[in-house]
């Protein structure tokens, strides 16, 4: 999932480690989210948005993806 975490984080002058500490995850987890290798839970996305005083939709871009959603996968949608 595309996101603007890096832009928001740098705007506040936070490192990945500092953001991770604020939301209770590792620097590696923040890096994986920023580089779209990991999709955060809704709760983690909410916590990240709260740190940035923003809405989830401002940070995470819910666009069509090549990847199927978990719901589509479980229904066998091709």
Q: Is the entire prediction scored with pTM above 0.95?
A: no
3-25 average pLDDT score: 98
Q: How far is CA 7 from CA 4, 27, 36, 73, 78, in A?
A: 5, 16, 14, 32, 34
| Structural domain boundaries in the chain | 2-75
Distance of alpha carbon 32 from alpha carbon 37, whole angstroms: 5
Distance of alpha carbon 68 from alpha carbon 28, whole angstroms: 25
Q: How is domain 2-75 classified at the CATH fold level?
A: 434 Repressor (Amino-terminal Domain) (1.10.260)
34-54 average pLDDT score: 97
**What percentage of the chain reaches a pLDDT higher than 70?**
83
Q: Name residues whose C-beta falls within 8 Å of residue 19's C-beta, 6 or more positions apart in sequence.
A: 5, 9, 30, 48, 51
User: What dihedral do alpha carbons 43, 47, 24, 69 form, nearest 10°?
Assistant: 40
């Amino acid at each position: 999932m595309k996101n603007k975490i890096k832009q928001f984080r740098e705007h506040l002058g936070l490192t990945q480690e500092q953001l991770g500490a604020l939301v209770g995850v590792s620097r590696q987890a923040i890096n994986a989210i920023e580089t779209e290798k990991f999709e955060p839970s809704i709760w983690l996305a909410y916590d990240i948005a709260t740190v940035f005083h923003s809405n989830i939709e401002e940070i995470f871009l819910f666009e069509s993806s090549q990847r199927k959603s978990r719901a589509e996968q479980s229904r066998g949608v091709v």
